[in-house]
Amino acid sequence: MQTVRSRVLLGLLLIGFYLTLLPFVVHGVGMIGIGLSAAAAQQSHLFADGQPVGNLAMVLHICAGTVLVALVPLQLLKGVRRTFTGFHRQLGRVLVALALFTGLAGMTYIPLRGTIGGSVMSAAFFLYGLCLFTAALMVARMALNKDRAGHWAWGLRLFWLALGSWLYRVHYTIWYLLTGGLGSEPDFSGPFDLVQNFAFYVPYLMAVQLWITRKQRAHTGALPTRP
């Protein structure tokens, strides 16, 4: 009974996730189209005339990032992981490659073009890219070393980091629905914007860390006490 209920809940969560992801994917595909068009710079601030490296980095970034967000929830499904081990491994390789690519392309773009929100946003997003890149490398390393605990912990971090871009939009959507955009400015200089530069990944990483520590303690028994 419990399993049926949790499966239904998981199914609803997935449906909710993909429904909210849809507008984001449509936007991403639209931006790729703009990026590949001859008049890209006239249509979006993300692209500039005479900046082929930055423009290409952004197009590749959006391509890889969008596929990454769409696929990453599948990797955490216990049923899929246990029944289709081969699929889990293949998808894992694809996700690691996509995460490395997304992070690298973003970190190439930032020093070349900056971000719409200025230096704080650039620093925060660069750090986000670094976290995603590191987590992807560590997941792969732990899998190669057959370190199951390490692979699980880095996999969880990578999962939440991969969802970061979607969470960023979810935070903004909820905030605008609740407050009409209080503390948010078109140039992303408002107090809400400044907090959001970090709030879409730092608190999630901290929560994941607490969860990992709790699970590890439960697994290894009580912490050693003082003699």
Question: At which residue do the structure tokens 């590749």 appear?
Answer: 60
Would you call 48 helix, strand, or coil by DSSP?
coil
Cα–Cα distance between 64 and 226 in angstroms, integer?
50
Q: Does 132 bind ligand HEM (CB under 6 A)?
A: yes
> Given the complex with ligand HEM, which of 73 and 147 has the nearer CB atom?
73
Least distance between ligand HEM and beta carbon 174 (Å):
18
- HSE-CB for 107 with a 13 A CA cutoff: 15
Residues 19-38 that bind ligand HEM (CB under 6 A): 28, 31
How many angstroms separate the Cα of 73 from the Cα of each of 13, 39, 172? Answer: 10, 35, 21
Q: What angle do CA 27, 33, 37 make, to 5 degrees?
A: 145
Binding status of residue 128 toward ligand HEM by CB under 6 A: yes
The site string for ligand HEM over 53-92 (x = CB under 6 A, - otherwise) reads: --------xx--xx-xx-----------------------
Closest CA to 158 of 80, 91, 87: 91
DSSP string, 199-211: HTTHHHHHHHHHH
Interface characters, 192-221, with ligand HEM (x: CB under 6 A): ------------------------------
Should residue 103 be labelled a site residue for ligand HEM when binding is judged by CB under 6 A? yes
95 contributes a contact to ligand HEM by CB under 6 A: no
Query: Among residues 84 and 176, whose Cβ is nearest to ligand HEM?
Result: 176
Pairwise CA distance, residues 1 & 90, whole Å: 32
Catalog residues that contact ligand HEM under the rule CB under 6 A: 28, 31, 46, 61-62, 65-66, 68-69, 102-103, 106-107, 109-110, 115-116, 125, 128-129, 132, 162, 164-165
